[in-house]
Amino acid sequence: MKNRAITVSGTILLTIAVVALVGPWLSPHDYVSTDFDRVLLAPTIADAHLFGTDELGRDLFVRTMLGIRVTLLVALVASFVSLVIGVAYGAIAGFVGGRVDAVMMRFVDTLYALPFIFFVILLMVAFERNFLLIFVAIGAVNWLDMARIVRGQTLSLREREFVEAARLTGVRNRRIIFRHIAPNLIGIVVVYVTLTIPQAILVESFLSFLGLGIQEPQTSLGALVDAGVNLMEGASWALLFPAGLLALILMCFNFFGDGLRDFFDARQAN
């Protein structure tokens, strides 16, 4: 049952990613060319406007695929940033322990209570809207869960016999961390990265939806949904395709991550 959730959502995600990569290349249209004879065209196979066109006559299929690429790219990079910060922070807190750990975790608790998205927006206002900054800001927001989980895991690993044995035979701290503790963290870290990805996608598309994220003519799924909202009364396809795909991608990542977590939990219980 759980494995089915992983395979089905994984397959859907892979298909979407492949189509997003290959699709624009096969289409006769590109993402910037306007065509004022074909404005707000409903989806049709004849012209290869599979998702219709927008108010400038741009092909929405190619734009949506491009949006998916940007969304996935932002999500992957942001998750990587949060992975690095979260693992480093959590591992240090867990390994050092004691008072350092208490202070570090109290700080995480404090940050947990904050409406982080507002701080990201504040960053966007203070510094010019910079694409790189979106990655970093989103990553900087999403590391808290990772830090908590890694810290908990490190704390329990530190007390295990094989670490004790390594310590007794005179292995240095550095080596203990990299050779004995880090490899045991990989499973749980992988699971939580897959659960961080949908969160990163959510933040990016939220910012782009508000017009604070990616700028025209570049696009992302959030920006396309925003554009679709303005067109929906006459051209519902401009809203429904990007909105539907965004929802589908988010759901698949959530199911995938959940399935993976249950899979690892079951394995650990055995």
Partner 1 sequence: MLRYTLLRVLGAIPTLLLVIALAFLMVHAAPGGPFDDERVLPADVEANIAHAYHLDEPLPKQFVRYLSGLLQGDLGPSYRYRDYTVSELIGNSFPLSLQLGALAMALAVVVGVSAGTVAALRQDSYLDRLVMACSMTGISVPVFVFAPVLVLLFAVKLQWLPAGWSSASGGARLVLPVITLALPQVAYIARLTRASMIDVLGRDFIRTARAQGLGTLTVVRLHALKPAMLPVLSYMGPAVAAILTGSVVVEEIFGIPGLGQFFVRGALNRDYTLVLGIVVFYATLIVLLNLVVDILYGVIDPRVRYR
Amino acid symbol at 32: V
140 binds partner 1 (CB under 8 A): no
Of residues 31, 51, 135, 209, which one binds partner 1 by CB under 8 A? 209
Nearest to 152 by CA among 179, 114, 192: 192
Q: Min. distance of Cβ 9 from partner 1 in angstroms?
A: 11
Binding region for partner 1 (CB under 8 A) out of 12-20, 63-71, 80-88, 202-210: 202-210
Q: How far is CA 267 from CA 128, 159, 185, 188, 264, in A?
A: 47, 21, 14, 12, 5
Cβ atoms of 150 and 96 within 8 Å: the answer is: no
Closest to partner 1 by CB, 112 vs 162, is 112
Q: Min. distance of Cβ 129 from partner 1 in angstroms?
A: 10
Task: Write a three-state SS string for 177-192.
Answer: HHHHHHHHHHHHHHHH
Q: Min. distance of Cβ 113 from partner 1 in angstroms?
A: 5
Q: Min. distance of Cβ 176 from partner 1 in angstroms?
A: 32
Binding mask 23-62 for partner 1 (x = CB under 8 A): ----------------------------------------
Q: Min. distance of Cβ 183 from partner 1 in angstroms?
A: 31
Closest to partner 1 by CB, 163 vs 203, is 203
Closest to partner 1 by CB, 154 vs 208, is 208
Total residues in contact with partner 1, by rule CB under 8 A: 40
132 binds partner 1 (CB under 8 A): no
Say how far apart CA 163 and CA 176 lie, in whole Å.
7
Of residues 76, 88, 177, 232, which one binds partner 1 by CB under 8 A? 232
Say how far apart CA 132 and CA 130 lie, in whole Å.
6
Say how far apart CA 138 and CA 82 lie, in whole Å.
8
Binding region for partner 1 (CB under 8 A) out of 78-86, 162-170, 174-182, 229-237: 229-237
Tokens of 68: 């998916």
Site for partner 1 in 105-124 (CB under 8 A): 110, 112-115, 117-119, 121-124
Of residues 139, 239, 241, 256, which one binds partner 1 by CB under 8 A? 239
Say how far apart CA 87 and CA 183 lie, in whole Å.
12
Cβ atoms of 225 and 242 within 8 Å: the answer is: yes
Cβ burial, residue 8 (10 Å; 0-12/13-18/19+): middle
Neighbouring C-alpha atoms within 13 Å toward the C-beta of 117: 13
Residues forming contacts to partner 1 in the complex (CB under 8 A) are 110, 112-115, 117-119, 121-127, 198, 202, 205-206, 209-212, 222, 225-226, 228-229, 232-233, 236, 239-240, 243, 246-247, 250-251, 254-255
